[in-house]
């Protein structure tokens, strides 16, 4: 059997992590909030999440849903803010420190930009966990844990899928320059693809421009028979670009949303590499709650993997209900 339920160790680890989340949720009524009140002398914990992308992005909406679910279970006050600019994201981290939060969840798409702000959090004895991007920099910058997928390993999985669907010359569409995670995905895919894979840098904040850039490259090089996008919304745009030029390039992508499941089932998108963003948000908030209420630290100094999980036409139907409610 193919797909998320029959892949390698990273997928099995993600499944185990998900099972752990379910166990925690099931136990909350019998001890979660009471344990927190004992550990914090009745004071409600406050946790801030600061990411490099935010509301309106379907991926980050799913991350937030997971975080809010954990915050609700743990009776935690949850604060959210985001900015794609590394310097402004650092300012948001400093604002969270000034608010004397009990923990900070942060993404490290541009890790060096956040170095000083995270040092400020450490000086204030505020624990930090990272999610999604920057696994390789997480410990160096003082985070006690990281929840996400190894982007290089995920890229390698995507490269194998590109080869499996028969592509020989492909584009890796990078929608945010300077994002270390996106670069790692393309580099990983290049290792295992076996064909010619070249990066195409686009302005991800302008979808018509993304489509125009992909269309122009397909028109200029008729040998391109594969397109790998690095986020679910860009996959649909790539499909439109392929149709516009009358080409036969096959599209694969990273991440999921409701529309993408439909596109996979229709065969317009051949595969998606899912990193389970709901699990990232949920696990990060719950990890900080566990630290503050029971002294627990997840991961043992290594990233806790939430992916990659490969979704194809073979297993897309099994995930459809979850994508429609906005949790996958």
pLDDT digits (tens, 9 = 90+) for 204-237: 999 999 999 999 999 999 999 999 999 999 999 9
Confidence tier at 41 by pLDDT (50, 70, 90)? low
pLDDT(247) > 80: yes
CATH code of residue 88: 3.40.50.2300
> CA geometry: angle at 58 spanning 237 and 136, to 5°?
95
Could you give the CA distance from residue 246 to residue 261 in angstroms, rounded to a whole number? 23
pLDDT(6) > 50: no
Residues 164 and 221 occupy one common structural domain: yes
Confirm whether 64 is domain-assigned.
yes
Confirm whether 248 is domain-assigned.
yes
Residues 87 and 199 occupy one common structural domain: no
Confirm whether 3 is domain-assigned.
no
Confirm whether 4 is domain-assigned.
no
How many other CB atoms sit within 10 Å of the CB of residue 205?
Answer: 11
Residues 142 and 175 occupy one common structural domain: no
Phi, psi of 45 (to 5 degrees): -70, 150
Residue with tokens 């170095």: 115
Residue with tokens 């897309």: 316
> CA geometry: angle at 308 spanning 253 and 179, to 5°?
60
Residues 265 and 185 occupy one common structural domain: yes
pLDDT(56) > 90: no
Confirm whether 328 is domain-assigned.
no
Residue 305 DSSP symbol:
E
Q: Which of 25-29, 66-70, 106-110 has the lowest mean pLDDT?
A: 25-29
Residue 224 belongs to what domain range? 151-274
* Residue 10: half-sphere exposure toward Cβ, Cα within 13 Å: 23
- Tell me, what's the pLDDT at 258? 85
Residues 140 and 236 occupy one common structural domain: no
> CA geometry: angle at 79 spanning 73 and 85, to 5°?
135
Residue with tokens 């699990």: 279
- Tell me, what's the pLDDT at 27? 39
Give the mean model confidence (pLDDT) for residues 32-53.
75
Residues 161 and 282 occupy one common structural domain: no
- Tell me, what's the pLDDT at 206? 95
Confirm whether 302 is domain-assigned.
no
pLDDT(7) > 70: no
Residues 61 and 202 occupy one common structural domain: no
SS3 assignment, position 103: strand
Nearest CA to 145 out of 293, 312, 291, 243 is that of: 291
Confirm whether 1 is domain-assigned.
no
Confirm whether 2 is domain-assigned.
no
Residues 29 and 176 occupy one common structural domain: no
Residues 83 and 136 occupy one common structural domain: yes
Count of the separate structural domains present in the chain = 2
Residues 199 and 222 occupy one common structural domain: yes
Confidence tier at 309 by pLDDT (50, 70, 90)? very high
Residues 188 and 290 occupy one common structural domain: no
């Amino acid at each position: 059997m193919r797909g998320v339920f029959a892949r390698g160790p990273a997928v099995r680890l993600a499944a185990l992590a998900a099972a752990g989340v379910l166990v925690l949720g099931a136990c909350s009524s019998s001890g979660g909030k009471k344990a927190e009140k004992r550990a914090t002398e009745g004071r409600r914990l406050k946790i801030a999440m600061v990411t490099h992308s935010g509301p309106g992005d379907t991926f980050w909406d799913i991350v937030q849903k997971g975080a809010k679910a954990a915050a609700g279970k743990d009776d935690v006050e949850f604060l959210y803010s985001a900015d794609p600019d590394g310097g402004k994201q650092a300012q948001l981290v400093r604002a969270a420190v000034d608010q004397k939060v009990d923990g900070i969840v942060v993404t490290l798409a541009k890790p060096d930009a956040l170095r000083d702000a995270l040092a400020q959090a450490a000086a204030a004895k505020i624990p930090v966990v990272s999610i999604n991007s920057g696994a390789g920099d997480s410990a160096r910058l003082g985070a006690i844990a990281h929840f996400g997928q190894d982007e290089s390993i995920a890229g390698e999985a995507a490269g194998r899928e590109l080869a499996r669907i028969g592509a020989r010359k492909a584009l890796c569409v990078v929608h945010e320059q300077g994002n270390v995670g996106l670069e790692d995905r393309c580099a990983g895919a290049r290792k295992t693809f076996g064909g010619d894979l070249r990066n195409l840098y686009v302005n991800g904040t302008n979808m018509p421009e993304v489509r125009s850039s992909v269309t122009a490259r397909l028109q200029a090089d008729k040998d391109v028979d594969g397109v790998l996008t690095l986020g679910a919304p860009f996959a649909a745009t790539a499909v439109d670009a392929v149709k516009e030029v009358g080409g036969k390039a096959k599209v694969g992508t990273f991440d999921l949303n409701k529309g993408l499941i439909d596109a996979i089932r229709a065969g317009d998108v051949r595969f998606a590499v899912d990193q389970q963003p709901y699990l990232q948000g949920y696990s990060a908030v719950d990890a900080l709650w566990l630290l503050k209420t029971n002294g627990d630290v997840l991961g043992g100094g290594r990233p806790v993997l939430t992916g990659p999980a490969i979704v194809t036409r073979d297993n897309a139907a099994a995930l459809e209900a979850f994508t429609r409610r906005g949790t996958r």
